[in-house]
A and B are shown apart, each in its own frame.
Chain A
Amino acid sequence: MSVIDTISVFICSGCEIGTCLDCSGLEKIARENTDVTKVVVHDRLCHEEGLDLIREGILENPGSSVLIAACSPRIKTTEFSFGSEIQLERVNIREQVVYCQPAGEEDTQMMAEDYLRMGMAKLKFTQLPTAFIPEITCMDILVVGGGITGLTSALEGANAGYSVVLIEKEESLGGFLKNLNKTIPNKAPWVKEQKNDIDSTISEVIHHEGIRVITGSKIESIGGQPGDFTVSVSNNDQVVTFKVGSIVAATGWKPYNPNKLEKFGYGSSLDIISNHEAEEAMKNGVLLRRSDGMVPKSVLFVQCAGSRDPDHLPYCSSICCGTSLKQAKIIREQHPETSVFLIYKDIRMPGMLEQYYKEVQKDSRIFLTKGIVEKVVVSEKQLSVEVSESLIDEDISIPVDMVILATGMVPNDSKELNLAYRQGPGLPELKYEFSDSHFICFPYETRRTGIYAAGAMRAPMGISDSQTDARGAVMKAVQLIESVKKGGAVHPRSGDRSYPQLYMQRCTDCKRCTEECPFGMYDETEKGTPLPNPTRCRRCGICMGSCPERIISFEDFSIQSVSAMIKSIYVPDEFEEKPRILAFVCENDAYPAFDMAGMKRLQYSAFIRIIPVRCIGSINKIWISDALSQGFDGIMQIGCKPGDDYQCHFIQGSELTETRGENIQETLQTMMLEPERIRTEFVEINEFDRIPEIINDYIEEIELIGPNPFKEI
């Protein structure tokens, strides 16, 4: 499959490489390879004179690929970059050989020689990726949801110069904010409620020439792929279909159903109301008792009504503290004779909002008390709130005229998006039905490429945070379109032009790829044949790892290229002195940890050979059986932590190695090999100090088990 016939090899002898290794030995290994037309050893390859030699080599042999055996491919990237037309392979003989092995030893030399062979073998089966670029990339952005998040996204996207279609299921725009009276402050001096300016935002959206607004409409389906989504929208019986390039999902939230809060008496008295009902009353006039239309002499807020409660919403809804403080302040303005109580677990007014909290505290008729509301007892004309663990006394009972339940936020169901995806109509959820994924470092990376969740559908948040989130999400939507247009992937392999290519003739419709792709890249026919959507792909290679028929490969990372690397490794027959362990290592986290271990000169066994992979989920079973039949005594897969707090950048890669484990054990059984011949380890990027221990422990274990019997065959 290779189109590259020749390789120019450049070996650096600087940075202890030349004193630790026999570079002429390496040169000899390179020259033995018939594809190699040029070998250069230089002691400062990354300097101008070294780089000149490489550039000369490239000019001499146009189309030749370049192998640089020197430091880690993670460094000197600016120096060792010769344009996108050059197939470049970097072999790490510094951090992962010279820095972690004793100088001048035979085993150290063998390690370096193997890495050089592996690099050459890889190049033989590697091509420059030919990007997938849709014939037409649609540049429009769809925003789903006309609340503050959707409105902000639409405006910001349109102001950046992109056409936006905004769809809202209700007849009018504004979402939840329409129901609000005043809002808590979002700017200095942080002490005064602000006018709710949702109407001016709506008007700005409606009059913006770059935004097309569709209200009262439902999404029937969203199919296709980033850069080329097909959206069908229905309004009554009319269905319109149009194309968009990317999507911001801002489907918002609904209040927690107060009917579920029986212990707080909701439903048993007209004077026990939710914060949303209170808000509506205060927007339309003054707050009065519903039972008799009288001014309440005392009002009590029950904070966390449903939130922070494992029986209801286990999370904090984030906005209710601010909302109740605001409502308390407005009640006191409407009814100066009324006393207000607020029973809380913690008052959560982070950042500058603290100053608003302080402002509310100035009012001596607003009583704020930590405690747990046990129940609200309803008697004839009076409500009585029973509070435990209060700071005033163990258990107290507060008689009041009115109770307001600060109910929390529940995300709307992302299934409203009606994605025509094999993996389902909604966005995958992280927890508690919020559509989210890598929420710390990469909060916009949903598992549906090109669809960016924003606002309260992905985490509880207030107005300001929703606006901030909306701007970020639409920026990602813009970026997606620009990336698709150029044929590059988006995060985490930003700009990667490779994409999975399938040799369909050999597909058995086993559906493993369509099920295992964390990003829902594959749809499938009724028969179960995979239908790839390349721009949904994030290039992790998990589908390549899943395929029992080995029909999925990338041009620069393939079943063949890795198999060739494995086969190029010299496995000595003599086990006693030279067992061999093959380690597949996640290139995002474990590989840098190996580099750092090297930089710290931590020493570990010279019997290991490392193959970096995009994700340990991309490891195909064939590589494991290849290695075992070749005589490798043990195989390691070293990746990121799985589980609730997963660190895998492709979300499910590490988890899959566990579910695929059974399959692999079967392979071992059929080969009559011990289950310990394969080990999976999870290493965090900063756990470089664990590397020697992990490697050496495994070698010890393998030495106990003894040699792989396939060695002698």
Chain B
Amino acid sequence: MLERLPILVIGAGMSGITAAVEAAEAGLSVILLEKLPYIGGNAISMNRYFPKMCPPYCGMEINFRRIKDNPLISLMVSTEVSSVFEQDDSFAVELVSAPEYVNSNCTLCGDCVEVCKAEMKDVFNRSMSSKKAIYHPHDLAFPERYVIDDASCLYDRCNACFETCRYDAINLEAKPKETELIVGSIILATGWEGFDPAEVPDYSFGKHPDILTNLMMERISAPNGSTMGKILCHETQKAPKKIAFIHCVGSRDENHLPYCSGVCCSASLKQALHAVEVLPEVEVSLHYIDLRVSGRNEDFLSKIQDHPRIRLIKGKVSKVNTNTNNKELEFVAEDIESGKKLTYDADMLVLATGLIPNQSAVEGLLPKQRSYLDYYSLPDGVKMAGCAIQPMDISASVKSATGASLLGFRRKEE
């Protein structure tokens, strides 16, 4: 049998993890790279998946076990690609890893957190809560160890974590590390990031604490989120009585994202269903252009259509007003079915922001002038998987990544 060079999988979200475990279980060696200190990508920060309303940890736990059990996978977190050179039938890759302030000696005992003096925003909770500069990223975080945030740590002005750690797990003088590799193929599973709704000023994002993005909504709904799963208005700390969802924020908009982000309709339906489940009084309205919920997920839509406290209103929202007297949010939206423009109010507004494929991670591998999904023009031996290609849901990402991992079997064309 031919000695095959390993596959480099860039990005360890749902797609990257899948590509890595599927390839490794077929007997291929894989280097799985993640820029963050933990794996699971955006998916692991979700409260539940649609349409089964099940927690992401469930499948992640299985996948993490597959990684732990498989010696063919080398996982490198806090690591990014600095350069790639194509040569003959392989790629020379240079990687740079962030300083390993906390090493694998860490036992997750948590003593360091108690003494840490620096606080910062918790980005896992979309900055809606804070945490210490030495932190455990989230409950199921893998690899299982604490992490020190470079920007917030006080280093030698404090040293408290170092002094308290009984397991020699902390080295505040750690330096970045460079690694060179030769790989046979590359899978780009760089995922996506959320559209910044501040780019649509009419929706007043940032002007009122109860105007949230859909990603923030996930974190205030999740039991391990910023409010331990309690959906509360920021100022009153009371449950909202009316939540409104605005669909297609950024998406299907020539000025922003010219495509449909594919998953936001289902995600909003999911969040609405979760809200009416946990808040027995809340009324929810969804303002949509088209409800794009395809295949068997139609059942999911029917469940919502039948719900007495959820209203689906076809029409675009034109303006959100935060300067109202009674502190509630007001917004103007068309109701296409009645042909009228109406003013609605709500005490929480969720912006269903779109997905932007993250294709910037590997300069040099992608053509500069790209339109999304230009993956036909990738060099031989490089493939994309999941949302790096275009917005897609978990299931589609897994399918895309499983197929992409076939790349590891590639042989030189004679």
A residues engaging B (CB < 8 A)? 14-16, 44, 46-47, 71, 74-79, 156, 159-161, 187-190, 308, 314-316, 318, 346-355, 358, 370, 389, 391, 430-432, 434, 439-444, 459-461, 465, 468-472, 474-476, 478-479, 482-483, 490-492, 494-495, 588-589, 592, 596, 599-600, 640-641, 645, 647, 649, 684-689
Complex: A161 Cα to B260 Cα, angstroms: 38
A482 near B27: Cβ-Cβ < 8 Å:
yes
User: Which A-B residue pairs are the 4 nearest by beta carbons?
Assistant: A471-B403, A441-B59, A472-B402, A160-B409
B402 near A15: Cβ-Cβ < 8 Å:
no
- Known contacts A468-B399, A685-B57, A686-B139: A346-B298 contact under CB 8 Å: no
Residues of A within 8 A of B392 (CB): 351
Shortest CB–CB separation between residue B88 and chain A, in angstroms? 20
Residues of B within 8 A of A346 (CB): 290-292
Residues of A within 8 A of B379 (CB): none
Residues of B within 8 A of A495 (CB): 25, 69-70
Q: Please indicate which of the listed interface residues B25, B166, B339, B392 has the most CB atoms of chain A within 10 Å of its own CB.
A: B25
- Chain A CB within 8 A of B359 CB: no
Point out the residue from B105, B302, B314 that lies within 8 Å of A47, measured CB to CB.
B105
A187 near B298: Cβ-Cβ < 8 Å:
no
A14 near B166: Cβ-Cβ < 8 Å:
yes
Chain B residue with minimal CB distance to A344? Answer: B290
7 contacts between A and B (CB under 8 A): A75-B108, A160-B409, A161-B409, A442-B398, A494-B66, A592-B57, A592-B61
- Chain A CB within 8 A of B200 CB: no
A-B Cβ contacts below 8 A, count: 236
B298 near A354: Cβ-Cβ < 8 Å:
no
Point out the residue from A15, A391, A641 that lies within 8 Å of B336, measured CB to CB.
A391
Point out the residue from A349, A443, A589 that lies within 8 Å of B399, measured CB to CB.
A443
A389 near B337: Cβ-Cβ < 8 Å:
yes
Point out the residue from B53, B295, B371, B405 that lies within 8 Å of A475, measured CB to CB.
B405
Complex: A451 Cα to B402 Cα, angstroms: 15
- Chain A CB within 8 A of B104 CB: yes
Residues of B within 8 A of A76 (CB): 107, 144
A479 near B395: Cβ-Cβ < 8 Å:
no
A686 near B336: Cβ-Cβ < 8 Å:
no
Interface code B368-405, partner A: CB below 8 Å = 1, 0 otherwise?
Answer: 00011110100000000000001110111011111111
Chain B residue with minimal CB distance to A349? Answer: B260
* Apart from the given pairs A476-B402, A645-B53, A686-B223, 15 other A-B contacts in the complex at a CB distance below 8 Å: A14-B166, A75-B144, A78-B104, A79-B104, A161-B409, A187-B373, A316-B297, A352-B390, A440-B395, A441-B59, A471-B402, A472-B402, A479-B25, A494-B21, A685-B55
Q: Please indicate which of the listed interface residues A468, A470, A687 has the most CB atoms of chain B within 10 Å of its own CB.
A: A468
Residues of A within 8 A of B280 (CB): none
Q: Please indicate which of the listed interface residues B168, B391, B402, B405 has the most CB atoms of chain A within 10 Å of its own CB.
A: B402
Complex: A490 Cα to B21 Cα, angstroms: 11
Point out the residue from B14, B58, B399 that lies within 8 Å of A684, measured CB to CB.
B58
Residues of B within 8 A of A687 (CB): 223
Q: Please indicate which of the listed interface residues A15, A600, A649, A685 has the most CB atoms of chain B within 10 Å of its own CB.
A: A685
Chain A residue with minimal CB distance to B222? Answer: A686
Point out the residue from B61, B259, B299 that lies within 8 Å of A315, measured CB to CB.
B299
Complex: A599 Cα to B57 Cα, angstroms: 16
- Chain A CB within 8 A of B294 CB: yes
Complex: A354 Cα to B403 Cα, angstroms: 25
Residues of B within 8 A of A14 (CB): 107, 109, 166-167
A351 near B262: Cβ-Cβ < 8 Å:
yes
A314 near B144: Cβ-Cβ < 8 Å:
no
Q: Please indicate which of the listed interface residues B292, B336, B392, B404 has the most CB atoms of chain A within 10 Å of its own CB.
A: B292
A434 near B108: Cβ-Cβ < 8 Å:
no
Complex: A156 Cα to B409 Cα, angstroms: 10
B295 near A318: Cβ-Cβ < 8 Å:
yes
B403 near A472: Cβ-Cβ < 8 Å:
yes
Interface code B45-71, partner A: CB below 8 Å = 1, 0 otherwise?
Answer: 000010111110111011101101110
B95-116, CB < 8 A from A: 104-105, 107-109
Residues of B within 8 A of A352 (CB): 259, 372-373, 390
Interface code B354-378, partner A: CB below 8 Å = 1, 0 otherwise?
Answer: 0000000000000000011110100
- Known contacts A14-B166, A188-B372, A596-B139: A444-B290 contact under CB 8 Å: no
- Chain A CB within 8 A of B238 CB: no
Residues of A within 8 A of B55 (CB): 684-686
B58 near A685: Cβ-Cβ < 8 Å:
yes
B53 near A351: Cβ-Cβ < 8 Å:
no
Chain B residue with minimal CB distance to A43? Answer: B166
Residues of B within 8 A of A588 (CB): 58, 61-62
Residues of A within 8 A of B297 (CB): 316
B259 near A354: Cβ-Cβ < 8 Å:
yes
Residues of A within 8 A of B104 (CB): 78-79
Residues of A within 8 A of B302 (CB): 314
Complex: A308 Cα to B298 Cα, angstroms: 7
Residues of A within 8 A of B109 (CB): 14-16
Q: Please indicate which of the listed interface residues A352, A358, A469 has the most CB atoms of chain B within 10 Å of its own CB.
A: A352
A599 near B108: Cβ-Cβ < 8 Å:
yes
Residues of A within 8 A of B391 (CB): 350-351
Chain B residue with minimal CB distance to A597? Answer: B139
- Chain A CB within 8 A of B242 CB: no
Chain B residue with minimal CB distance to A47? Answer: B105
Complex: A15 Cα to B165 Cα, angstroms: 11
Complex: A434 Cα to B238 Cα, angstroms: 44
A47 near B168: Cβ-Cβ < 8 Å:
yes
B394 near A370: Cβ-Cβ < 8 Å:
no
- Chain A CB within 8 A of B412 CB: no
Residues of B within 8 A of A79 (CB): 104
Chain B residue with minimal CB distance to A488? Answer: B25
B140 near A316: Cβ-Cβ < 8 Å:
no
B409 near A589: Cβ-Cβ < 8 Å:
no
Complex: A643 Cα to B363 Cα, angstroms: 47
Point out the residue from B14, B374, B399, B401 that lies within 8 Å of A188, measured CB to CB.
B374
Complex: A592 Cα to B59 Cα, angstroms: 12
Residues of B within 8 A of A600 (CB): 139
- Chain A CB within 8 A of B406 CB: yes
Shortest CB–CB separation between residue B318 and chain A, in angstroms? 18
Residues of A within 8 A of B166 (CB): 14, 44
Point out the residue from A77, A468, A478, A686 that lies within 8 Å of B68, measured CB to CB.
A77
Point out the residue from A44, A461, A641, A688 that lies within 8 Å of B167, measured CB to CB.
A44
A161 near B390: Cβ-Cβ < 8 Å:
no
A354 near B252: Cβ-Cβ < 8 Å:
yes
A479 near B259: Cβ-Cβ < 8 Å:
no
- Chain A CB within 8 A of B127 CB: no
A441 near B58: Cβ-Cβ < 8 Å:
yes
Complex: A354 Cα to B228 Cα, angstroms: 37
B298 near A479: Cβ-Cβ < 8 Å:
no
Residues of A within 8 A of B401 (CB): 472
- Known contacts A370-B336, A471-B404: A348-B292 contact under CB 8 Å: yes
Shortest CB–CB separation between residue B100 and chain A, in angstroms? 15
- Chain A CB within 8 A of B224 CB: yes
A645 near B52: Cβ-Cβ < 8 Å:
yes
Complex: A686 Cα to B294 Cα, angstroms: 28
Chain A residue with minimal CB distance to B1? Answer: A161
- Chain A CB within 8 A of B258 CB: yes
A350 near B262: Cβ-Cβ < 8 Å:
yes
Q: Please indicate which of the listed interface residues B53, B69, B259, B399 has the most CB atoms of chain A within 10 Å of its own CB.
A: B399
Residues of A within 8 A of B70 (CB): 494-495
Complex: A641 Cα to B57 Cα, angstroms: 14
Chain A residue with minimal CB distance to B145? Answer: A75
Residues of A within 8 A of B262 (CB): 350-351
Complex: A434 Cα to B339 Cα, angstroms: 39
Residues of A within 8 A of B374 (CB): 187-188
Residues of B within 8 A of A483 (CB): 25-26
- Chain A CB within 8 A of B157 CB: no
Complex: A352 Cα to B140 Cα, angstroms: 34
A647 near B58: Cβ-Cβ < 8 Å:
yes
- Known contacts A188-B373, A350-B262: A315-B398 contact under CB 8 Å: no
Point out the residue from B54, B167, B228, B403 that lies within 8 Å of A645, measured CB to CB.
B54
